[in-house]
Chains A and B, each alone.
Chain A
Amino acid sequence: MEYEMVIGMEIHVELGTRTKIFCSCPTKFGQEENTHTCPVCLGMPGVLPVLNEKVVEYATRAGLALNCEIAHFSKMDRKNYFYPDLPKAYQTSQFDLPICTGGVVEIEVDGVKKDIGITRIHIEEDAGKLLHESADGTLVDVNRCGVPLVEIVTEPDLRSAEEARTFAEKVRNIMEYTGVSDCKMQEGSMRFDVNISMREKGVTVLGTRTEMKNLNSFRALIRAVQYESKRQIIELKKGHKIVQETRKWDDTKGVSASLRSKEEAQDYRYFPEPDLVPIVIEKEYIEKIKRELPELPEAKKQRYIDEYKLPEYDAGVLTATGVTARFFEEAVVLYDEPKQISNWIMVEIPPLLKEKEITMENIPIAPVQLAELLKLVKENVINGTSGKEVLKEMFNTGKNPGEIVKEKGLAQMSDTAELEAIIEKIVADNPKSVEDIGTGNEKAYGFLTGKVMKETKGKANPQVANKIIREVVAKHLG
């Protein structure tokens, strides 16, 4: 029997506001425990929360970027549950009237395009952090409490781990492009909950689903989906029923396990938040946000293909993240060779980033420096091989390419007479190669070119050297 996987996702994205959702505490990550709190986010009695206007703006922007309807009228609600990461014993969220509904995101997997429905996007506050370091208790850090989130809920439209990952990455890119969030996975700025069920192929009724919460990397997302779908198939083939439950994904062990303690049905007893008044969004406001929306990845990719004549593959890689696209665009303004720049960004830069264990976000060179370097290569001041060496040095020292070329004496030999003399000597010293060429073995040219590059420490212009070698060899064969 063949089974089909049905996946729905909830994606939590931390918004890039300066302050929390209902109070003026900063949202800075990685601060000393319990130093970014106030009576509001500590849940003291009698305090009055006030909604951060940027949260409404960012949520509207996120909604428009994911093709949602923006609600004219929405409101906040209390979601009640006891857990020590939530000082108020309820999370302020949105229940029946979320700020955005009914969006769609197109994904492409293995050349097949597909629409993934967005059910809703609502705004809510993040919870605090539990630390399990104490010998006889649990420690609570309230700094994250009240950091604004949007929760993006999808329709059960995803059918494979690959689709889930592609979708999640696309949402991440859009959130980053629109400036709604920095989407730093390692800081927990983006977390995924997945609902998974299996059904026989061809059946339309949904099977019983399980949920895994708080997956915090794309890798964890893929592995959790793969593991859980396999587990369910095994259970079903044994004739067992799938239990509807929340399961915990253990990324280190690569297994999911039932959370028995949470088995009692959740009853959140949502009710309207009396301390916060409704949000009314006018058409003019939505239009304004729409006008201000930056170019989204899809449109940018198409523009790179049309305007810069880049292959689709290049355009895809360059627009995969906002930082890479910005780097490319700044460089291309200064040096009008898009394909050259693209090659260096795609091929030469990644290994250097990897070596330093950083990403494009922290690239130590400026676009203007890459443009300058490529100009030096284009104008034959240095050759491509030296160019790579200079780039590496730029990464290590932050110096400008011109400066490095001078310091290291990398400028190409422009003196043809000097180069001719070197080549004359090499050809004379290698009669076997000349003989080989005479009998039609073209490979011997490569050998001679290699000798010349070695002798000149890579400073010879390969095209010029090649031309001279051919002339000199021809003379010898004469």
Chain B
Amino acid sequence: MSLTREDVTYVANLARLEFTPDEVTALIDKMGAVLDYAETLSELDTSTVKATEHVLAVQNVFREDVPKPCLSNEQALANAPESEAGCFKVPRVME
């Protein structure tokens, strides 16, 4: 499957990844190869096969609506690279 530069930069943008022009060139082939491999599935006739909604043959796994203890504020923030005033701190978001 042939990909364009635009395809690669579009997907990169969605994933918030930045690439140099050379890396994009390399990815055109690499991503194309992955897609080609997946494409082999299309050789099969699946017109009579029901869509797989889930890989497990299990349904209706539910939980009772009963509260359980939560993490403390300190525990919740323990892995945060930055925190302030009991909150996670991230780079400024434009409103």
Contacts and interface: CB of A to CB of B under 8 A. Distances in A.
Contact of A278 (B59, B68, B73): B59
A227 to B, nearest CB: 19
Interface residues of B, number: 37
Contacts of B67: 18-19, 24-26
30 contacts: A17-B65, A18-B65, A19-B63, A19-B67, A19-B68, A25-B67, A26-B67, A33-B85, A34-B76, A34-B77, A34-B88, A37-B70, A38-B68, A42-B71, A50-B62, A52-B63, A80-B14, A132-B95, A137-B91, A138-B90, A139-B88, A139-B89, A139-B90, A140-B89, A141-B86, A264-B13, A272-B53, A277-B58, A277-B60, A279-B59
Interface of B: 13-14, 16, 53-56, 58-68, 70-73, 76-77, 82, 84-95
Contacts of A131: 87
Contacts of B89: 134, 137-140
B14 A141 contact: no
B59 A19 contact: no
Contacts of A261: 94
Contact of B85 (A35, A134, A267): A134
B92 A136 contact: yes
Contact of B88 (A38, A51, A140, A277): A140
Contacts of B90: 84, 137-140
Interface residues of A, number: 51
A130 interface: yes
A261 B95 CA distance: 10
A274 B63 contact: no
A33 B93 contact: no
Interface string A21-37: 00011100000111111
Contacts of B95: 132
Given A52-B65, A82-B16, A272-B54, 5 more contacts: A34-B77, A35-B72, A52-B62, A53-B64, A142-B76
Most chain-A Cβ atoms within 10 A of its Cβ — which of B13, B76, B92, B95? B76
Q: Binding site of B, secondary structure by majority: helix, strand, loop or mixed?
A: loop
A32 B72 CA distance: 11
Interface string A127-160: 0001111101111111000000000000000000
A37 B65 contact: no
A432 B34 CA distance: 108
Nearest to B88: A140
Contacts of A138: 89-93
B63 A24 contact: yes
Contact of A139 (B56, B65, B73, B84): B84
Given A139-B84, A140-B90, A38 B71 contact: yes
